[in-house]
Amino acid sequence: IIGAFGTVDVDDVLSVLDVALERPDCDAGRVGVMGGSYGGFMTSWLSAHHGDRFRAAWSERAVNAWDSFTGTSDIGYWFTDAYLGQDPGAHTKMSPLTYADRIRIPFAIVHSEQDWRCPIEQAQRMFVALRRGGTEAELLIFPGEGHELTRSGQPRHRGQRLDAVLEWWGRHLPVSADDATKSDQDSSV
């Protein structure tokens, strides 16, 4: 994916989704996209370029703008050039923030206040761009946490995050009584 963020990686993700949706128990009308870190980047990118495939998005600790990531991330200033090349125009082209005006699905942005890998401004800039564009967007920030919230954050914050995830998807991909009954019947077979 070096120099090709948002291309071959997208092809891989959408190919897996297409295969999954061939199953009779999967509903193309009830698909959400969710990811953290590089998966957060992919969530933002997919929402901008393939938002018609998803009902809603949940993006955590994402890189959304390579211009400000370079020099502010603890990973080192060399990272962007190593993975995207040295052309600032390419950095802009491969930044989800550039395409925020294309995102029309409900979009949750989750970030940690002390994330030095993907600094919090990555979340703030995306949130502002989405809200300015009229997209339904929510921003959830965890104080005192870093990039590893889901793995090594304070237990109460991990619990709050999980509750928020379940609430978000309950709102945007609700399970109907018919779906629950069908699921119960399928599991008893």
Is the pLDDT reported for residue 146 higher than 80?
Answer: yes
Model confidence over 16-55: pLDDT tens digits? 999 999 999 999 999 999 999 999 999 999 999 999 999 9
What band does 184 get if pLDDT is binned at 50, 70 and 90?
very low
Model confidence over 99-123: pLDDT tens digits? 999 999 999 999 999 999 999 999 9
Is the pLDDT reported for residue 8 higher than 80?
Answer: yes
Furthest CA-CA distance within the chain: 57
Share of the chain above pLDDT 90, in %: 90
For helices 8-20 and 38-50, the axis angle rounded to 10 degrees is 80
Mean pLDDT, residues 63-81 taken together: 95
Looking at residue 104, its pLDDT comes to 98
Looking at residue 185, its pLDDT comes to 52
Looking at residue 173, its pLDDT comes to 97
Is the pLDDT reported for residue 167 higher than 60?
Answer: yes
pTM of the model as a whole: 0.91
Q: Which residues are catalytic?
A: 37, 147
- Alpha helices, DSSP H only, in the chain? 8-20, 38-50, 66-69, 78-84, 88-93, 121-132, 149-152, 155-172, 177-188
Q: Which two tokens stand for residue 85?
A: 């090349």
Is the pLDDT reported for residue 98 higher than 60?
Answer: yes
Looking at residue 6, its pLDDT comes to 92
Q: What is the mean pLDDT of the chain?
A: 93
What band does 178 get if pLDDT is binned at 50, 70 and 90?
low
